[in-house]
Structure 1
Amino acid sequence: MNLNKTATRRHLRKTALTLALGALFATGAAQAQSSAVGSIFGSGMEPGTVVTVRNNDTGFQRQITVDASGRYSIGALPTGTYSVAVDQSGQQTVLNPGVQVVIGGGTEVSGGAAAGGDVTTLGGVQVTGSRMPVIDVSSTDTRRVFTSERLEQLPVRESLEQVALLAPGVVLADSRYPGAASFGGSAASENAIYINGYAVTNPLTNIGSTTLPFDAIGQAQVITGGYGAEFGRSTGGVMNIVTKRGGNEWKFGGEMMYTPKGLRGNYEDIRYEHNGLPAFDGLVYSRRSMREANEVKYGMYASGPLVKDRLFIYASGELTNQSISTPGTARPGGDAGWLKANLEDPRWMAKIDWNINDNHLLEFTAVSDTEKETRDNYSFVYTPGQDAFRLGERTGGIYYEDGGELYIGKYTGYLSDNLTLTAVYGEQSVDHIETPFGYDPSEVYVADSRPVDEQISRGTIERLAYEGAYDETRGGRLDLEWRLGDHGLRFGYDRQDSESMAGTQMSGPGYSWRYGPCTAGQPIAGGGGAVCPSNGEYVSQYIYENGGTFKVEQAAYYVEDRWQVNDQWLLTLGIRNETFKNYNADGIVYVEQKDQWAPRIGVSWDVLGDSSLKVYGNAGRYHLAMPNNVALRGAAGSLYTNEYFSFTGIDPVTGVPLGLVELGDGPYSANREYGQAPDPRSVAAKGIKSHYQDEYALGIEKAFENGLTVGARYVYRDLKGAIDDMCDYRPAYNWAIDNGYSEEVADNLGNALANCRLFNPGEANTFLLDDGTGNFVEVPLTAGELGFPKLKRSYQGIDFFVERPFDGTWFGRVDYTLSRNYGNAEGQLKSDIGQTDVGQTQDWDHPELMELANGYLPNHRKHYVKAFGFYQASPEWGLSATMSAFSGRPKNCMGYYPQTPENEEFNTYYAYGGPYYFYCNNQPSPRGSQGNMPWSYRLDLGVTYAPNFANNQLKFGLDIFNVFDRQSAQNQIEYGENGGPGLPYSQAHRVISYSDPRAIRFSIRADF
């Protein structure tokens, strides 16, 4: 931060005014748009007065005339710092020389000499200082905006999810969804992320997003609820990033950050818990205390005018290098593996801003985000209980590369004082590369499950990701804003299409060989009728392929009216209509939802009429489409066959079997489809509804004369509908028998449904199912016939906060959230087991899985305290801190379905052979009934030094993350048994991950 500018602004505050919202974090929005702009508005002025706003960096300005009611509003302003002035009696009067316009923020600049404000003369120009409000009474939702200056001051790890975690109601997602967060009890796949108005959420899974150089972030907006009709496709939260832009002054700079491995705390070892198997009790599962991690980041930027006041450029780049060395998992006896990984993240961003004139603006943004990772595996042996170890030979590895480019164009046209048009268009392409170490495409993969002394193996990997896998998006939006008296009317249309090529295929020639033992003369398990030969050994030729190219189209239009009923009441009324289309690999729609109406309403009451006390509320409905991976799992062809043989020998070089004699009737497929994609009409229930949620919130904020602001908000979220898959044979079979179909047809219909079809859980659904002859039968099933409970996920939260705005010396904020996240389904994900099949979890496969499933959900955190602040101790020294403390997630003990005579048929024919039920040791074990993980505590501290001799062009920093090295267990294995009911599981309740240990980051930054 430029300390000279800070000192100047502090002087102006003392002599003339209080900056509107300072440069602090803004909550709320007058013109909340995904196109990432803000507004300035005011009242109590002389009708006919001309108000001029001018961007202090670029010279861009707009003028507007105060209306007959004494109000004005200037919307769709690019973010930045503006001066606000009025022309009175031929003399310019500056109402505020430093208004911070933030993403979606409405900043009030009212009064002036005509309104009775105090007038001070600065340099011959009158500066009018009316009391500025610190509460944005133009907002009806819940949001926070973090400016680049504030992010630079706080000790924050440089990632988007770490910024989001500063906002109330946001919790870190399960560690098996890295880089993701849960907003208001939602799953980590239910969020929307934007860069400069364009959605960059991962189109394949909807988990995570494209990112950019952290230093290129101009402002980061975190919306945790109540957003208006212009936003959609999210039932979690919205994160909106606006990049930095160039101005009339050339600036250059660079930074380096170094987090050395030698100053990290020791990672906590992961150990087996006491689980009834003495050989495992207390044994180290992963000796993380031997883990080493080193990180260094370099960054540079340049910005300035190509043509003064008209054409500007900003460019930024960074390169992050990480090296990680860590042991793998252990077994009794001390064998383990060792992983050495090198990660390289080069990113860059460039932005061109062209102010054609003050009425027409063009912006162009380019972002490159690529992650490269090399993983090398080594053999590694250590003796349990000792620190001695031996690192062996390289045993394998893989190279990953994920990334690509993003391009965004935006036009803003101020067609008149009251009419503004904005248009955004973007395209993005991301490639995915996987190259295994030592992979020879001419080599056949060979696996062997015979006795150890007979086993052979060849090849490095059996399955590969599709070569040339990619994700692409393209789309845009058009927004029209029309000021009509007391009404701010907005109309908009947006569309985004995404396409993903993804899947898995066999390595080598497209098949592998698998040797195995069997019982002579008996059917081979899973062999489709093949009988074991007399020598008790077989070999199968295994073929697997699943994938293709899939598309999702999302389109919506909306209408919204922001009605300023009077000086104290603002009412926002909006409605959004959305359409989702999901295509399979053949380009055929398999799921479509149309005319999804989403009403939104918000209200803001300026109780005392002076912007010091606000009561606000909102209510709305929000829809979410299925990402592309649902087609990969449910609508794509899946070839999965085994062909069984006896053999007389094995080639000693290739491992290929010799003297083959077929044992069965050719290739056998357990999925009955032999690679054909299912008929798109049968993939999902007819008329399937989308995933959608209703939300209600009520809040209050109060500003005091001493600068403190306090507030509270209550929010209730209710998931009304979801999409998942069910795989139960019985409902369709029973329906067919009850309706007079033959046993054969009933069996075929049952098997068709058992192949897993998309449906709306807990509701009546109608399926089109193949009767075995290629003819489809419409099978309507009530909720009772399907046997599932009603879907339930509710979130209730009460957020309290106290905030002190920055006064040039210090600022701080403390948030406390008391919440309850309860129900029988997390949403699109299943964090209980870290399942990544978005929208196709195990939860609803058959009704028994949902027994006792009602309880506290994985993203439940009853108590959460967050705090952060900054103190400018002197012109040279700055101190900062962030703190969090929260209760742990609920724990479960999951096991096998009870083995009772009543359950014998289910356990024999339908039950999954694993510990996936809310029973443990044959006893009921309801969701969340096993207590909670421990509380987590974290304190981060930072100190900066900007020496006077460097004239604020040089800054040194030191950040200590997790100062007290409190490493809390975040999640655990929730299986309580394995191998059968009551049989102990070696990894039962083992910790999966701990919070990171203490780390120290050094930084140096230069700005010219």
Structure 2
Amino acid sequence: MSTNKHFAARRWRRTALAAALGMTFSAGVLAQSNATGTIFGTAGTPGAVVHLENTATGFARDITVDQSGRYRASALPVGQYKVSLVQDGQTVATRDVTLQVGGGIDASFASAQNAQNLAGVSVVASALPAIDVSQVDARTVLTAEMLQKVPVVRGVTAAALLAPGTVGADSRYGNIASFGGASAAENQYYINGFPVTNALTGLGFAELPFDAIDQQQVLTGGYGAEYGRSTGGVVNIVTKSGTNEWKGGVFSYWSPRKLEDSPRDIYLSKNPYAADSGELYQDRSNNRTTNTTYGAYISGPLIKDQLFMYLTAETTKQSGSAGLGANNGATSTRTIATSKANRWLAKINWNINDSNTLEFTGMGDNNTSSAKFYNYNYLTGETGAYKGSETTKNLGTAGSSPGGNLYVGKYTGYITDNLTVTALYGKTKSRHADNALGASGAPCPLVIDARNVASSDNYATCWTTTQVLAPGAEDNTKGWRLDVEYHLGDHDLRAGLDTQDLSSFSGTTYSGGIYHRYLDYSTAVAGGIQNEPGFVAPGTAPQYVVRDRVIGFVANVSVKQEAQYIQDTWQINDRWMAYLGLRNEQFNNFNGSGESYVRQRHQLAPRLGLTWDVFGDSSLKIFANAGRYHLAIPSNVAIRGASASLFSQQYFTYTGVDPVTGAPVGESPLTGVRYLNGADGVTAPDPRTVAAKGLKAYYQDEFILGFDKALGPDWTFGAKATYRNLKSIIDDFCDSAPFEAYAARTGTDISNAKISGCYLFNPGQANTFSVDMGNGTFQDFKLTKEDFAGNSNHIGFPALERKYLALDVYLAHQFSNNWYGKLEYVWSKNYGDSEGLLKSDIGQTDPSVTQDWDFPELMIGSRGYLPNDRRHELKAYGYWQMSPEWLFGANVLVQSGRAKNCIGNAPDGYDRQGYGSSFFFCDFSVDTNGDPIKTFHSRGSLGRLPWTYQLNLSAQYTPNWADNKLAFTADIFNVFTQQRTISIVETQNSYDDANYGRTLSYQTPRYVRFGVRYDFSF
């Protein structure tokens, strides 16, 4: 009897420990809350009490064990907990566990009669995916401790890129990531449960002080029904909170310019037909910067066990950049740039009592940058006169932080042991500024001299940027959500609803308000200036003319997003668990006049999952997941496509030129004003004519199958396969030919119909449009796939395709014997004819209105390997605690290159819209007469960019004489200073274009970061 009892106790310890370790590494569907977690388990004796207490704050709950011998406590703040089993008023067993964001921890006990004291079982949080029998999704949780020990750049994206299936996006989008083959604009980012994704475009997110991160959860697939509005991934951050101990600290990080390797110079491609082949395009030898970050924090109890505060702030400065522009000989530019980011976060936690808690978060993210421009002569190496400047606030590259302020409040009510209610409300506001000034301190107009004259005769200019953001630009997000969770027998039921209102006042204008383009008269005319009403040929033709363009793409636009969901986590028996969820979403997009132009309701997204604990001891799990995910149209679509906007041009003669700005003097009109695409800046298009009727939402289906296996107490290994299929997108097309084909097929008179501009539609299928017939009536045009092929080339749109297939294999060593490590390999294939919301081939930053589907000929050869396809990816990271004073870390990334394209000019007759180098046709050779031979090259068929390799190393010294309060760190990024090409110019303007294939970006060269921090308590 004693032998059997000893065996049972030993086996139970193995099962409990494996399950608890597993729960700390990956969050399960038992607790899908995006800022809390769940502790659950078996306790043997019905009626016993399980006491849970947060060791840092004193927050406590008592849960009664139900008749099946189980207990469950949901919506708990993350952190360290002591879990005690209380029988007849006496504590008979305790366990120490760490609760992670969105996670569940199995803190089970044997029956009260043979309970063992498990206080020594302390589960430490880790980022590694271990055995979690409740998990059906793909996620990684990174703790503050992990982020301090592994050498990563201090930023949310760098941390997210540790997760499998994530890759860096195109460099032109800034520092953001692509998840699971989706475009970089298809992700959602949360801080303390509230979305901080860029409200206008979905590109980028508000950053927070990096040291404020307590836990960062990265969801790369299979997430539950409470999450939506994402077909890429979800990054969910929970910030640190105050505790019962007053703590403070100061820190500083410094990356000196002198210890940074010079980035590689950029050269034109070695095109044998180009006269300037292989020449220096940009000298970047001096493009090095000094980065300095300093900050502080303080936290503690305002009222012990009840009211807590956490406050932190940091400032990051970058200076020393002295970059040169493109090599234009004597007319090049030198730039000296600086930037500064001020970030702060304040958080209040109030444990009103054991049944009610409140949490308030305030956050600020304000970044500014300034650049001064000087003339530079590549021929002599001399810097010339000051040319002008540009300053921005909360603005930069597409993926830069949109900045702004966040305020969010959250209430949690533990109504009964089985019923929990949470409510959240928050808002963000981000104001943007963009000012470009000439040397005189006044804005300079955009001037391009396109005359056929010697470069020495070109008109002088002073502009420094082509377009600027409209004054007064800002983004706002307001939202709330309500979640109710109820435990009923073997079912954990959860339901909720949430609303987000995103609004933006945004748009662009030309620098100085106007664009002057000087032309040879013979270029501007062909029997008169084409398509210019009011043109009268002058008696004596001038040698040159100027075309003036004015734009005003500015509007106040918004999107209202609502959702409801219900889900059930059903513990079928002790080995099988099923997850069933259903999400219903509604999207409503409004133009600048406040009118709805796209409305989508009842977007149903089922989510299903199943796990099998094969042996019943958490040593082997097989799991599967299937789900549908929707995405709303970004609000930026309405600025040009659905709102009043100005786009005009007019031709003039002129008598002189301003010697400083290059603007024409003495202009006299040759033509009247022409409003391109009907954009007169006053009248918004009728909402009925902007988009197809019954527009289907953007959505994707996903399937996951995998297993996890424990290999002894310290090792885990597993694999999973992921398949994603994009079923529907929304983009725009700008072709009148399908309407003309419909009219011819049906005998409809369209002589007075207003058919112009672009229309939102579902590519690759039939669509119905409401057409203004010009007599005050509207008529439905049901365009078939054949109608879309009704152009002169009889070419139609292909069926939409974006598929992602991945196999992820990992091996992980939990922290023991003073070291921790993870090795993960992902093979993936990202294939189709649409990247999604973006077009990385050309770095286009207009989500959902890309160039791709504007007219069918553009899609010839578009099917192939997509821009986010990285066939092979190996990630490894970990750390070694050599001694109490010394810790060393490493981070390795090996990745295959992106597939290459050539996007050039179409054969004669195929470019019906004048798009130029936008087709999958290029010239790589000439015939015997020296004429270029145009050849077809489908997407991704021209090989790949080189493999990239990067090793980061870190060391941390925590001297004993400072009582572990002082730490010195040193990190070396890209130790072997690998600088391989990661993106190139993929457009070819002519067969002798040496710009095609030119490198756009290399890997960041080696640099060193030193750090010092002092943490204290008082």
Deviation of 1:117 after TM superposition, in Å, equals: 5.2
Q: Tell me the distance in 2 between the aligned counterparts of 1:481 and 1:653.
A: 68
For 2:674, the aligned partner's letter is Y
Q: Tell me the distance in 2 between the aligned counterparts of 1:462 and 1:937.
A: 36
Deviation of 1:454 after TM superposition, in Å, equals: 7.0
Pick from 764, 779, 782 the counterpart of residue 780 of structure 1: 782
- Secondary structure of the 2:409 match is strand
Alignment of 1:499-898 (within 5 A): 499-505=503-509, 511=514, 514-519=517-522, 522-524=527-529, 527-528=532-533, 530-531=535-536, 533=538, 534=540, 535-648=542-655, 661-664=668-671, 666-675=672-681, 676-742=683-749, 744-745=751-752, 748=753, 751-752=755-756, 755-786=757-788, 787-807=796-816, 809-898=818-907
Residue equivalent to 1:243: 239
Residue equivalent to 2:102: 104
Residue equivalent to 1:482: 486
Residue equivalent to 1:991: 999
Deviation of 1:325 after TM superposition, in Å, equals: 1.8
For 2:479, the aligned partner's letter is G
For 1:933, the aligned partner's letter is L
Q: Structure 1 residue 932 and structure 2 residue 944: aligned?
A: yes
Deviation of 1:79 after TM superposition, in Å, equals: 0.5
For 2:481, the aligned partner's letter is R
Residue equivalent to 2:501: 497
Is the deviation greater in 701-710 or in 359-368? Answer: 701-710
Residue equivalent to 2:69: 70
Structure 1 426/615 Cα, relative in aligned 2: closer, same or farther at 3 Å?
same
For 1:75, the aligned partner's letter is S
Pick from 170, 178, 181 the counterpart of residue 174 of structure 1: 170
- Secondary structure of the 1:956 match is strand
Number of residue pairs the alignment of both structures matches: 968
Q: Tell me the distance in 2 between the aligned counterparts of 1:552 and 1:840.
A: 16
Deviation of 1:658 after TM superposition, in Å, equals: 6.2
Residue equivalent to 1:410: 410
For residues 280-332 of structure 1, the C-alpha deviation after alignment (integer angstroms, 9 at most, x for no partner) is: 22212122222111101001000000000000000011000001424334346
Pick from 383, 386, 396 the counterpart of residue 394 of structure 1: 386
Contact 1:306 1:313 in 2 (8 A): yes
Contact 1:449 1:515 in 2 (8 A): yes
Q: Tell me the distance in 1 between the aligned counterparts of 2:177 and 2:137.
A: 20
Deviation of 1:112 after TM superposition, in Å, equals: 3.6
Is the deviation greater in 813-822 or in 29-38? Answer: 29-38
Structure 1 642/694 Cα, relative in aligned 2: closer, same or farther at 3 Å?
same
Contact 2:295 2:315 in 1 (8 A): yes
Q: Structure 1 residue 46 and structure 2 residue 48: aligned?
A: no
Deviation of 1:131 after TM superposition, in Å, equals: 15
Structure 1 19/366 Cα, relative in aligned 2: closer, same or farther at 3 Å?
farther
Deviation of 1:716 after TM superposition, in Å, equals: 0.5
Q: Tell me the distance in 1 between the aligned counterparts of 2:113 and 2:900.
A: 60
For residues 889-914 of structure 1, the C-alpha deviation after alignment (integer angstroms, 9 at most, x for no partner) is: 10012221123xxxx3x44x435222
Contact 1:34 1:231 in 2 (8 A): no
Structure 1 15/35 Cα, relative in aligned 2: closer, same or farther at 3 Å?
closer
Deviation of 1:850 after TM superposition, in Å, equals: 1.1
Deviation of 1:855 after TM superposition, in Å, equals: 0.7
Residue equivalent to 2:969: 957
Residue equivalent to 1:9: none
For residues 902-950 of structure 1, the C-alpha deviation after alignment (integer angstroms, 9 at most, x for no partner) is: xx3x44x435222433455521201111011111111111110000000
TM-score computed with the length of structure 2 as normaliser: 0.91
Deviation of 1:243 after TM superposition, in Å, equals: 0.2
Deviation of 1:547 after TM superposition, in Å, equals: 1.3
Is the deviation greater in 445-454 or in 337-346? Answer: 445-454
Deviation of 1:633 after TM superposition, in Å, equals: 2.7
Contact 2:460 2:659 in 1 (8 A): no
For residues 730-751 of structure 1, the C-alpha deviation after alignment (integer angstroms, 9 at most, x for no partner) is: 1111111222234734xx55x4
- Secondary structure of the 1:33 match is coil
Deviation of 1:647 after TM superposition, in Å, equals: 4.2
Alignment of 1:385-464 (within 5 A): 389-402=381-394, 403-438=403-438, 448-450=449-451, 451=453, 453=457, 455=459, 457=461, 463-464=467-468
Contact 1:280 1:332 in 2 (8 A): no
Q: Tell me the distance in 1 between the aligned counterparts of 2:290 and 2:1008.
A: 11
Q: Tell me the distance in 2 between the aligned counterparts of 1:256 and 1:19.
A: 39
Q: Tell me the distance in 1 between the aligned counterparts of 2:15 and 2:863.
A: 59
- Secondary structure of the 1:161 match is helix
Deviation of 1:229 after TM superposition, in Å, equals: 0.5
Q: Tell me the distance in 1 between the aligned counterparts of 2:111 and 2:890.
A: 41
Residue equivalent to 1:3: none
Contact 2:18 2:618 in 1 (8 A): no
Structure 1 986/698 Cα, relative in aligned 2: closer, same or farther at 3 Å?
same
Contact 1:410 1:422 in 2 (8 A): yes
Unaligned ranges ≥5, structure 2 = 1-12, 395-402, 789-795, 924-932
Contact 1:449 1:455 in 2 (8 A): no
Residue equivalent to 2:180: 184
Q: Tell me the distance in 1 between the aligned counterparts of 2:71 and 2:658.
A: 85
Contact 2:897 2:982 in 1 (8 A): yes
How big is the alpha-carbon RMSD for the aligned residues of Structure 1 and Structure 2? Answer: 2.6
Deviation of 1:34 after TM superposition, in Å, equals: 4.6
Alignment of 1:326-345 (within 5 A): 326-331=322-327, 333=329, 335-345=331-341
Contact 2:829 2:869 in 1 (8 A): yes
Residue equivalent to 2:397: none
Q: Tell me the distance in 1 between the aligned counterparts of 2:574 and 2:90.
A: 28
Contact 2:15 2:617 in 1 (8 A): no
Structure 1 743/696 Cα, relative in aligned 2: closer, same or farther at 3 Å?
closer
Q: Tell me the distance in 2 between the aligned counterparts of 1:130 and 1:155.
A: 23
Residue equivalent to 1:914: 917
Alignment of 1:315-334 (within 5 A): 315-331=311-327, 333=329
Contact 1:855 1:926 in 2 (8 A): yes
Deviation of 1:455 after TM superposition, in Å, equals: 3.0
Deviation of 1:69 after TM superposition, in Å, equals: 1.4
For 1:437, the aligned partner's letter is L
Structure 1 825/512 Cα, relative in aligned 2: closer, same or farther at 3 Å?
closer
For 1:100, the aligned partner's letter is T
Q: Tell me the distance in 2 between the aligned counterparts of 1:640 and 1:129.
A: 66
Q: Tell me the distance in 1 between the aligned counterparts of 2:502 and 2:186.
A: 16
- Secondary structure of the 1:914 match is coil
For residues 938-971 of structure 1, the C-alpha deviation after alignment (integer angstroms, 9 at most, x for no partner) is: 1111110000000000000011111111112101
- Secondary structure of the 2:182 match is coil
Residue equivalent to 1:295: 291
Contact 1:23 1:147 in 2 (8 A): no
Structure 1 654/964 Cα, relative in aligned 2: closer, same or farther at 3 Å?
closer
For residues 637-674 of structure 1, the C-alpha deviation after alignment (integer angstroms, 9 at most, x for no partner) is: 2212223333455677997766654433x211232342
Q: Structure 1 residue 470 and structure 2 residue 479: aligned?
A: no
Contact 2:359 2:410 in 1 (8 A): yes
For 2:112, the aligned partner's letter is A
Residue equivalent to 2:1014: 1006
For residues 746-786 of structure 1, the C-alpha deviation after alignment (integer angstroms, 9 at most, x for no partner) is: xx55x42xx11000001110111233445433111112322
